[in-house]
Every structure is written in structure tokens, then in C-alpha cells.
Amino acid sequence: MKFKSAKDSTLLEIIKDKLGFSSNSKARNHIKSGIVKVEGQIVKIPSFALKTDQLIEIGGKADNKRKDKAPTSNFQPVFEDEYFIAYIKPPGLLSVSTQQKNRKEKNFYDLVLKQFRYNYGIKEVLLPINRVDRKYSGIMLFAKSGTSEIEVRKKWEDNTKRYYALVEGIPDNEKGSIESHLKQNRIGRVYSAPKSEYGKLCSLNYRLMYKDDKYSLLKLDVNSERKNSIRAQLSENKWPIAGDKDYKGTPSPIKRFGLHLFSLSFYHPFEKKFVEIKTPVPHTFKQFFKRKPKT
């Protein structure tokens, strides 16, 4: 099949419309199989930008000459364009590798990289832009090139993060804010200190989404933070995160750490605007309260 693109669009959108696929995943897999050509060249990138009247060919055999093993993971991107791609890191998994006694620990970055290389048929190294602590889950953004990484980091300090937190205890107010100067002790524990002790000022806003007799689901807008600041601030307000034993929490009723980075907003250096990556409330959080929380 040969045809020309009728408008400026992505390859994914064109293939989905032309072949009548009911889902993006089917169209994406079709492209990644290696049977789609643009102007005579095989293209396996669903987000590939097409211009009006470019020649597209569909046909031939899929690329079955690959010798690398299929990845065991199947993480679905929650955001992707020509420059960046983002996935949800699950709880209990390191973001990137650490070397301990010559043994490389399983980590999210290696899993995603192997999957990305297999799906796209390229050897470019994805570059992690942010990290998500091992204990909790959330959005991790990766750059598709060194140039993309350099450019996005120029204004990375302007990024904003929003979390869902399953906590013990119930706030007296539906919404509010927490502000404190935080320091870190010798064993890495973060705690509030008087301003005169030069702790880092950290603040967040919270909104109560749902509650029962013991637990609450909070939506957090983080204004400024340091490592473990959210855990420390919630604990010091007598709302420790479910499962956070280091900050006075008890075992989690959902069998996982009760914190999830659901929204990441950053300045896109090539689109010249802020882009927000937003994901739903984790299924385990919703199931715990037996209904969908108000958003």
C-alpha cells in the first residue's frame, strides 16, 4: 500500500487512521515491526513527524532478523515525542543502577533501556532526567539524546511535581499547607529545625481527597523540597505515609509504599512551553477506599 500524508501529523496518527486500528497500541506495534517506510526509509518511531504529501509505504515482511532477546518488561509510555519519553516506575525498584560488591542491582532504567532498544531497533542511550525513590512509584522522564538532556536541564529547576499520598491520620481541614526548614542528620534522616540553623525551606500544599476512620488520601502540590522532605513533613504533622517505617508509619494496608508521583510539569526546550505529564490515581489507592476519589 502506498499513499501520501494528507496533513502534518505523526506517523502513529496516520497509520491508525489509514488502517482503521481501534487503539494506539496496535498501530504502534505495526510501525515497530519494520514494515512502514517514509520516503523509502523504514521508520519504527511512532512519534515520527510527517509533513503533508510525504510518501508512505506499508507492506513487506516484518524485521525478524533481530538476535537480541525480547525484554521481560512491557512498560507503556505515559508521554512521548521526538525528544523525550516517560514511564511510570513501580514501587520497590531502584531508578538507576548502583554498584555493590561487583553486582549490579536490578533497576528501572536498565529495564526501560532494553525495552526501548528492542522496540525501536536503535542503540541510542536513553538519559534519565529525574529519579523516583526506590520506595515509591511515579513518573520518570528520559531524554532521547544528549542534546535533549542538556537543553531540558537548563530550566529543570522550574519543574513542578504533584503526588498522591496514602497517609495514616486525617487532617482537620480539607486543604492547607506545610512549610518548614529541614535538615539532615548523620544517618540521612530529615527533620525540622529552627530557621536559625540554616535548614532548607521546604513547602507543600495538600488537599484531602478521601478518608475513612484511619487513613486519608491526599493530593500534594510540592513547591520546594529536598530528599525525603515530603515524608518528614507529613510525619511531623502526624500523617505518616502508609508503610513508611522510617518516619513513624506502620505496615501499609495496600502492601506497598503509599506515595506516587502522578504529575510532572517541565519546560520543553523545543516546544518552548511547559508540558505536564499527568497520570491517574494508582489502582491500589482507589481500591483501598472502594470508590474513585474526587479529583
Domain ranges of the chain: 2-58, 79-154, 157-289
pLDDT above 60 (res 102) = no
Rg (CA), the chain: 22
pTM comes to 0.74
- What is the pLDDT confidence band of residue 33, given thresholds at 50, 70 and 90? confident
Q: Taking the CB of residue 261, how many other CB atoms lie within 10 A of it?
A: 24
- The confidence score (pLDDT) of residue 101 equals 52
- Mean of pLDDT values over 161-181: 94
- The confidence score (pLDDT) of residue 294 equals 57
Q: Kindly state the cell numbers that stand for 273.
A: 512551553
Residues 250, 244: Cα–Cα separation, whole Å = 7
- The confidence score (pLDDT) of residue 245 equals 93
- Mean of pLDDT values over 246-259: 94
Extended beta strands in the chain, E state:
2-4, 9-10, 36-38, 41-42, 49-50, 55-58, 79-80, 84-89, 99-100, 103-104, 127-128, 137-143, 160-168, 175-184, 190-192, 200-211, 215-224, 259-268, 273-278
- Mean of pLDDT values over 232-246: 93
Contacts of 291 (CB under 8 A, 6+ apart): 210
Contacts of 253 (CB under 8 A, 6+ apart): 215, 242, 288
Q: Which CATH number fits domain 2-58: 3.10.290.10, 3.30.930.10, 3.30.70.20, 3.40.50.300?
A: 3.10.290.10
- Mean of pLDDT values over 49-69: 72
Contacts of 267 (CB under 8 A, 6+ apart): 152, 155, 156, 158, 159, 273, 274, 275
CATH class of 157-289: alpha beta
Q: Are 260 and 218 in contact (CB under 8 A)?
A: no
Cα angle for residues 155, 116, 149 (degrees, 5° grid) = 15
Distances from the Cα of 221 to the Cα of 138, 177, 207, angstroms: 14, 9, 9
pLDDT above 70 (res 63) = no
- The confidence score (pLDDT) of residue 44 equals 85
- What is the pLDDT confidence band of residue 257, given thresholds at 50, 70 and 90? very high
pLDDT above 80 (res 121) = no
pLDDT above 60 (res 249) = yes
Residue 275 β-bridge partners: 266
State whether the Cα torsion 233-236-239-244 is positive or negative: positive
Residues 83, 148: Cα–Cα separation, whole Å = 6
pLDDT above 80 (res 214) = yes
- What is the pLDDT confidence band of residue 2, given thresholds at 50, 70 and 90? confident
Q: Kindly state the cell numbers that stand for 274.
A: 511547559
The fold adopted by the segment(s) 79-154 is: Alpha-Beta Plaits (3.30.70)
- The confidence score (pLDDT) of residue 180 equals 87
- The confidence score (pLDDT) of residue 196 equals 59
- The confidence score (pLDDT) of residue 160 equals 94
- 27 closest CA partner among 42, 39, 45: 45
pLDDT above 80 (res 293) = no
pLDDT above 90 (res 216) = yes
Which one has a higher pLDDT value, 290 or 99?
290
Residues 253, 288: Cα–Cα separation, whole Å = 8
